């Protein structure tokens, strides 16, 4: 299942069944094998997040400091000569 991009949400989402059994991490409380992947504007996705997954795959609560770090990194990419468009996943 998927939710198409809308201007209101500024994101799109896809619900996928995890391979190899139950999903791990923060969303596995019910033991289900499903993952929701969201792609969209950094500020829009961040305001709906409670957890973050690090490069090693470790899931941790999204603290105010970690949220600020993501926002600062996105702002740095959007400014300057390159003015890159950023997306959160």
Question: What's the pLDDT score for residue 54?
Answer: 84
- Report if pTM > 0.85: no
Q: If pLDDT is split at 50, 70 and 90, which confidence band does 2 have?
A: confident
CB distance 45 to 67 below 8 Å: no
The Cα 47–Cα 27 span in angstroms is 17
pLDDT tens-place string over residues 23-55? 454 444 445 688 889 999 999 999 999 998 888
More confident residue, 9 or 30: 9
Q: Which residues contact 11 (CB under 8 A, 6 or more apart)?
A: 5, 38, 39, 40, 41, 44, 45
Question: What's the pLDDT score for residue 21?
Answer: 52
């Amino acid at each position: 299942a998927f939710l198409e991009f809308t201007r209101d949400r500024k994101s799109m989402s896809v619900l996928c069944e995890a391979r190899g059994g139950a999903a791990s991490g923060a969303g596995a409380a019910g033991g289900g094998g499903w993952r929701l992947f969201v792609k969209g504007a950094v500020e829009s996705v961040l305001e709906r997040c409670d957890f973050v997954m690090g490069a090693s795959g470790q899931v941790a609560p999204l603290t105010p400091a970690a949220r600020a770090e993501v926002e600062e990194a996105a702002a740095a990419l959007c400014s300057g000569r390159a003015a890159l468009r950023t997306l959160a996943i």
